[in-house]
Structure 1
Amino acid sequence: MYGEPDNHWVSTLRSTTGKRLWRSIECNLRYSLRSGLRINGDTCINGVLYYGAYVGRSCMIVCFDFSSEKFMSIKLHEGIPHGILINYKGNLGVLVKDGHQIVLWVLDEDAGNHIWCKTISAPLRNYLYFVGWTTGAGEIVLSPHRGTNPFYIVYYQGRP
């Protein structure tokens, strides 16, 4: 998928010829990707791409389902002032730095309802800014946003 918020294109690779085909798709959702976005990063889970954007004046998560080629949005929980999108054990997660702790919010999409659950809360020291991701088994890995001497990584094997 490529394009500005009002102009979206999908690239399809044809299996028979190996040629790439670009085509325009409809987006019924009006959003912007302006600077100062509270939700950083993007992730793809089970064929759905998630990324932060503004829908009107509200920061939300925009989703693009590759199989249906449809867009939708997910409201953030009021306890998520900012964060980094991650794939947490096959579910959408947001890592949030809250004071001297890291908090993981996970989206439960039971029966199409979007419910955010505060899953993990762990102490976090000396991380003013951080980059976070997860391993395939769901362990959380954090590193400083900027290089430090010595360089260090925090590995958290949560058991929610």
Structure 2
Amino acid sequence: MKSQQKKSSLSPKLQHHSQISTMEKKDGIHIPFDLTEEILSRLPVKSLLRFLCVSKLWASLITNSIMTWSLTKPRLLVILDHRLRESSIFSLSSYPLSTDKESVSTEQDDHALVRGINGNNMYQYSRGLICCLTTSTLYNTTTRQTLLLPKINSEIPASVIEGFFGYDPVENQYKVFCMVRGSQTYEASYQVFTLGDPKKQWREIRGLGTYLFPTMTTRVCINGKIYFRARIGGYPFHNMLLIVDVRSERFDHVEIPKQPRSLTLVNYKGKLGCICYSDDSAEMWVLEDHAEKQEWCKSISFMSSSSLVKRLEYGTCIAGVTVNDEILIMSKILDCADPLYAEYYDLKQEKIRRVELESTLKGQQKDVRIFSFSDHGENAMSLFR
């Protein structure tokens, strides 16, 4: 009786601590949620991936934390595409962007694609995921999961498939768009695949009323919109910049600021940048997206950029623009007997610095195709959700 009276005389605060003490003895040490979040944020990504199976709460917390951290520290992602007879293999490497070193190391990850072998594989990237429509594959660079996309059904004879990959930040969805067009006719159909859709199938959507022929230029996704260059209509073709809204699944277009010999689309401080270059001049236009209309603003002109243009003419390409206003230039083909370099062109000082990217491929194979992306981040989401 006395013991019961003594227990009931404890204050609510002391009773709460008593309950926690009992839990600690029974289930182990109790760690507050905010402290758990702080501890997890200090662990490397490889360690965090092992904790995804602890609980749904931890999985959600870890996935969001990894993505948030990665977006603040983007890295350079390099895809090396090996042309083999029995399988198509790509190698992934990532490197720091902000560095003053002349050489940086990486972690290598080889992955074989065994479906849809094609000597002209095209890789598209968005927030830690790689899409290769020629092999019908989605790949997560962090979890190393591979998802084979369902077969694209089309009744168009002698069809050619073009694809676009992007992310909608509002609905938190990844989508793959494909355009199936006739190689000899103007007939075309448009379909979309949504990652995480329970039906796991392509859906027919409304495309453009005119004939569309995408060009082999960069395709970049910014704030839920995919941008790419294309030729519209029958002969004579008209060069335009096409826009796909990932959430509404609608197509739009805007005029190219000028008709240069070559151009590259980049993410410039959260806006679309169009770098135009020809002969011995280069300039970048930025697309301002106003409520009423979209218009180009000439942002930066390279008055003495002949050295930059010459580099872009000899087997190199623009991989993006860093937060430090440096244009990243990468090779398109690599002889593995030679070192791999990244060149950074300073827009303000108009100077180029070179960084060697260490690789384990030296002497293994010749003429490896290179795909480079300057906004790589880790992504712990599952492709099979």
TM-score (norm 2): 0.36
CA RMSD of aligned residues (A): 2.7
Q: 2: CA distance between counterparts of 1:96 and 1:152? A: 23
Match of residue 178 from structure 2? 2
Deviation beyond 6 Å, 4+ runs, structure 1: none
Change (3 A) 1:152 1:46: same
Q: Does the 8 Å CA contact 2:260/2:277 hold for their aligned counterparts?
A: no
C-alpha separation in 1, matches of 2:279 and 2:339: 23
Amino acid aligned to 1:132: I
8 Å CA contact 1:14–1:21 kept in 2: the answer is no
What is the alpha-carbon distance in structure 1 between the residues aligned to residue 273 and residue 201 of structure 2? 32
Report deviation, 1:67.
0.8
Q: Aligned residues: percent identity?
A: 28
5 Å-filtered alignment, 1:106-121, equals 106-121=286-301
Residue 92 of structure 1 pairs with residue 272 of structure 2:
yes
- The worse-fitting range, judged by mean Cα deviation, of 129-138 and 1-10 is 129-138
Q: Deviations over 1:48-97 (max 9, x none)?
A: 11111112221011111011111011111235443111111111112222
8 Å Cα contact 2:263-2:274 kept in structure 1: yes
Structure that is richer in strand per residue: 1
Q: Relative to 1, partners in 2 of residues 1:85 and 1:135: Cα closer, same or farther, differing over 3 Å?
A: closer
1:105 aligned partner, one-letter code: W
- For residue 344 of structure 2, what is the aligned residue in structure 1? 155
8 Å CA contact retained: 1:53, 1:59: yes
What residue is the counterpart of 2:320 in the other structure? 134
Which range is displaced more, 55-64 or 125-134? 125-134
Matched, 1:41 2:218: yes
Native 8 Å contact 2:274 2:286 kept in 1: yes
Kept in 2, the 8 Å contact 1:134–1:141? The answer is: yes
Q: Specify the code of the residue in structure 2 equivalent to 1:9.
A: Q
- Shift of residue 151 of structure 1? 5.7
Given candidates 196, 220, 229, the residue that maps to 1:52 is: 229
8 A contact 2:261–2:277 mirrored in 1: no
Q: Residue 3 of structure 1: CA displacement?
A: 2.4
Which amino acid is 1:89 matched to?
Answer: K
Contact 1:141 1:155 in 2 (8 A): yes
* Residue pair 2:286, 2:299 contacting (<8 A) in 1 also: yes
Report the CA distance shift for 1:114/1:81 in structure 2 as closer, same or farther (over 3 A).
farther
Change over 3 Å in CA distance of 1:42–1:24 after alignment to 2: same
Greater RCO, CA 8 A, separation 6+: 2
| Structure 2 residue matching 1:21: 3-state secondary structure | coil
Q: Deviation of residue 45 (structure 1)?
A: 0.6
Classify 1:9/1:79 alpha carbon distance in 2 versus 1 (closer, same or farther; 3 Å). closer
Distance 2:209 2:223 in 1: 21
